[in-house]
Amino acid sequence: MKVLVLNSGSSSIKYQLFAMPEATVLARGSVERIGEPRGEVKQRAGERETRLEEPIPDHESGLRRAMQLLTSGEGAPLSAPDEIEAVGHRVVHGGERFTETVLIDDEVLAAIEEHVALAPLHNPPNLIGIRVAREVLPRARQVAVFDTAFHQGMPPRAYLYGLPHALYEEDGIRRYGFHGTSHRYVATRAAELLGRPLEELKLITCHLGNGSSMAAIEGGRSVDTSMGLTPLEGLVMGTRCGDLDPAIVFHLARTKDLPIDALDRLLNKESGLRGLSGASNDVRELERLRAGGDPGARRALEVFTYRIRKYLGAYLAVLGGADAVVFTAGIGENSPSVRSEVLTGLAALGLELDEARNREAVGREADIAREGAPVRILVVPTDEEKLIARDSFALASAA
């Protein structure tokens, strides 16, 4: 079965084509700058790379262009778009309605629409991708995989805020968590690497990228996570502030006369590593600057790694210990120095890093704990698209 995985953004479409059940990637590509005078289409299928610059007026035009690339030229992975039997869509917010992957029908589409208020920047473009795919690929089964679904098993003590309970009951104000497909994928893969059933394990997964989150996972179920109602809560990120005293917002509004939109931009786009360093939200650049003595880069990285260590200790307490800590995503997979700084001084908690193994583990699976240490420390590259493809294949096959 051929399964297409789509991640639709406000001005982009990213896609991968899989042959299932082997989960072999036949092609991957992106349509960027949709609606701008000069759009860009990129695709790699086998050894063949294509890059085009042309106007892409809307998402439908973008997906149709991608279909043309997938079906044309020597060695094309498809002879016709109808070969695609399932389309898996990444949908950011499913609220409490969706606790697992679902086949998309009109009722599901309406429910995703109802959750736009909880994810105003993400759900609308996700909906556009679904509607366009239904038009362009009408014979394929459409599947929704939700970022929030994996965390829906959290107990109330973990997801409720200390607010009047009516705000939860009437408005759905609670912690939902995000990056669920990544946390679920690396937890499953960690169990395979450890040679133990996922249902027996206590894991702490650290998805560290420009957007970062952590999850405490017990028996394959997320029991706590760092992101909240929105992706702003939790760890310090590339441009997001993470946890802060909420009264800071009132203070800034009063003393600087900042409107809501300016405060939103400040906390989501101008804070985090970029705001702390005054230079960049890219950890690679900050590590380079720190090596040259830049105080802003040093400050940003110290705050970033401290916050991760703080959550790590909290989740060890939540779980009553852990079998493994898993690092993933761009920073987690590729920065030995971040991993080392996070884990410094935690030997008493069973976390003993082998620095030689850590230095060698860049962008690949590895166990970087000291031999014989009670808690394993794993690096597991995430593959959210593969998880979406597997979910989509399973549902489409059963339907």
Query: What DSSP assignment string belongs to 241-280?
Result: --S--THHHHHHHHHS---HHHHHHHHHHS-HHHHHHSS-
Report yes or no: 66 and 31 within 8 Å, Cβ to Cβ.
Answer: yes
Provide the pLDDT for residue 368: 98
Q: How many CB atoms lie within 10 A of CB 117?
A: 12
Query: Using one digit for the tens of pLDDT, what is the confidence trace for 293-335?
Result: 999 999 999 999 999 999 999 999 999 999 999 999 999 999 9
Beta carbons of 325 and 378 less than 8 angstroms apart: yes
Mean of the per-residue pLDDT values of the chain: 94
pLDDT, residue 39, reads: 92
Give pLDDT tens digits for 22-44: 999 999 999 999 998 899 999 99
Q: 12 pLDDT exceeds 90?
A: no
What is the CB neighbour count within 10 angstroms for residue 379? 24
Least confident piece of the model among 11-15, 192-196, 359-363:
11-15
- Interatomic CA distance for residues 250 and 144, integer angstroms: 38
- Residue 121 above 80 pLDDT? no
pLDDT at 74: 79
The pLDDT score that the predictor gives to residue 277 is 98
Confidence check: pLDDT of 234 > 90: yes
Q: Edge-to-edge, what's the strand order for the sheet holding 213-218?
A: 221-225, 213-218, 202-207, 324-328, 376-379, 366-367
**Residue 247 CB burial class (10 angstroms; 0-12, 13-18, ≥19):** exposed
Q: Looking at the predicted structure, is the pLDDT value of residue 291 above 80?
A: yes
Residue entry with tokens 């894991």: 203
pLDDT digits (tens, 9 = 90+) for 347-380: 999 999 999 999 999 999 999 999 999 999 999 9
Classified as helix, coil or strand, 18 is strand
Instruction: Give the residue numbers marked as catalytic.
Output: 147
Q: State the pLDDT confidence band at 75, using cuts at 50, 70 and 90.
A: confident
pTM of the model: 0.93
Kindly list the distances between the CA atom of residue 183 and the CA atoms of 25, 59, 207, in Å, as whole numbers in the listed order.
21, 29, 7
